[in-house]
Amino acid sequence: MARIFGPVPSRRLGLSLGIDLVPCKTCSYNCIYCEVGRTTNLITEPSSFINIAETIKELEDVISKSPPDVITLAGSGEPTLNLDIGALISEIKKITKIPLTLLTNGSLLWKEEVRERCRGVDIILPTLSSVFKKTHDMIHRPHPGLDLDRIIQGLKETRKLFKRGYYLEVVLLKGINDSEEELSGLKKVIWDIAPDRVQLNTVVRPPAETSALPLTQERLEEIKAYFGGNTEIVAPSPIKGRGNISDSGAERIFEMVKRRPVTIDDISNALNFSRVETEQMVKGLKIKGIIQEQRHGDNLFYTSK
Ligand code: SF4
């Protein structure tokens, strides 16, 4: 199975080549805003899911043709649920100097062994969206074995391992965690964690549940000012992709839409196809019934069937 996907224009990292470490959709959370869909395998115990040698070979092949800005451990679930993540990080570091990043929900970082496995990445991007159990439960619908206080403690402990390259994501949802009380609670805890950056996010792609509503840009700006300092809003990336145009373009588009909903611009930027070429290939895949259209607000997204 192909584990490498993209490169995709990441709103937080630039042009990112992803490695999918768990089967879809294996996660310790079942977030209402998840763009991959509802969690079907809700677990907290890591397992072995991939063949490291094959993944490294696949990665070497892709980066030799079109090196991305970053390599990201992410995909269609929670990557720290992969028991072999530490070994994979070591192997990646042997073959490339491209910065390695880890997109994690942060829910398992209270476990020392999980933190140790991840310490080889250059940038870690955990999430914290509420410091109140009721709200945290509503947003993330976590595995029943998880405890919010422990999770927050884990986020603090992780900071000790990452003196640089700790970007904390806050996903803000209208009417759920955008109240004064929620933001004040978050601000205090974020101050304690002291990440290098606080990255404000909201719903920008079709979410798992329609109850997950986005904040306006104006409201995000207000919250950014309230948090102050190193806070930024992660907006759609303007970076142009350097992806290699190949005769397997349709396959690469399919690999992208399999993992998350994408727009024509996302595909065109990531794969460096012209808009017309992209529209043509997307149309072909649509006609063949391989992908489908989905409207979210003013935008049209493509997803796999
Ligand atoms: S958004 Fe991330 S943490 Fe939440 S359910 Fe989806 S994959 Fe899991």
Binding site membership of 105 for ligand 1 (Cβ less than 6 Å): yes
Q: Which ligand 1 atom sits closest to the C-alpha of 76?
A: 7
Model confidence, pTM: 0.82
63-93: b (≥16 Cβ within 10 Å) or e: beebebbbbbbbbbbbbbbbbbbbebbeebe
Q: Which ligand 1 atom sits closest to the C-alpha of 36?
A: 6
| Neighbouring residues of 60: CB distance < 8 A, sequence distance ≥ 6 | 95
Among 24, 25, 27, which is best to mutate for testing ligand 1, by the most ligand atoms less than 8 A from CB? 27
- pLDDT at residue 71, rounded to an integer: 96
User: Atom 6 in ligand 1: which residue has the minimum CA distance?
Assistant: 34
User: Atom 7 in ligand 1: which residue has the minimum CA distance?
Assistant: 77
Q: How many residues does the chain have?
A: 305
Binding site membership of 151 for ligand 1 (Cβ less than 6 Å): no
CA dist 305 and 290 (Å) reads 6
Binding site membership of 78 for ligand 1 (Cβ less than 6 Å): yes
- pLDDT at residue 189, rounded to an integer: 98
| Distance from Cα 38 to the centre of ligand 1, integer Å | 9
Q: What percent of the chain has pLDDT over 70?
A: 92
| Distance from Cα 64 to the centre of ligand 1, integer Å | 30
Q: Taking a C-beta distance cutoff of 8 angstroms, is the pair 109, 154 a contact? A: yes
| Distance from Cα 171 to the centre of ligand 1, integer Å | 11
Binding site membership of 36 for ligand 1 (Cβ less than 6 Å): yes
Nearest by Cα to 103 from 17, 24, 164: 17
- pLDDT at residue 253, rounded to an integer: 85
pLDDT 10s digits, 183-209 = 999 999 999 999 999 999 999 888 899
Q: Taking a C-beta distance cutoff of 8 angstroms, is the pair 167, 125 a contact? A: yes
Beta bridge partner(s), residue 302: 262, 293
Q: Which ligand 1 atom sits closest to the C-alpha of 39?
A: 5
Domain limits of the chain? 4-244, 249-305
- pLDDT at residue 250, rounded to an integer: 72
CA dist 54 and 41 (Å) reads 24
| Distance from Cα 138 to the centre of ligand 1, integer Å | 13
Among 12, 26, 36, which is best to mutate for testing ligand 1, by the most ligand atoms less than 8 A from CB? 36
CA dist 279 and 156 (Å) reads 45
Q: Which ligand 1 atom sits closest to the C-alpha of 127?
A: 3
Separation in Å, CA 176 to CA 57, 134, 183, 212: 44, 10, 11, 9
- pLDDT at residue 287, rounded to an integer: 61
pLDDT 10s digits, 67-100 = 889 999 987 899 999 999 999 999 999 999 999 9
Q: Per CATH, which fold does 4-244 belong to? A: TIM Barrel (3.20.20)
Question: How far is residue 300 CA from its own chain's centroid?
Answer: 20
- pLDDT at residue 85, rounded to an integer: 97
User: Atom 1 in ligand 1: which residue has the minimum CA distance?
Assistant: 34
CA dist 79 and 90 (Å) reads 15
Q: Which ligand 1 atom sits closest to the C-alpha of 140?
A: 4
Nearest by Cα to 207 from 184, 186, 176, 238: 176
Beta bridge partner(s), residue 41: 26
Binding site membership of 76 for ligand 1 (Cβ less than 6 Å): no
Question: How far is residue 210 CA from its own chain's centroid?
Answer: 20
Q: What are the residue ranges in the chain where pLDDT is below 50?
A: 1, 237-247
- pLDDT at residue 247, rounded to an integer: 42
Instruction: Assign domain 249-305 to its CATH architecture.
Output: Orthogonal Bundle (1.10)
Burial of 42 (0-12, 13-18, 19+ CB in 10 A): middle
Q: Are strands 100-103 and 123-125 parallel, antiparallel or unpaired?
A: parallel
| Distance from Cα 281 to the centre of ligand 1, integer Å | 29
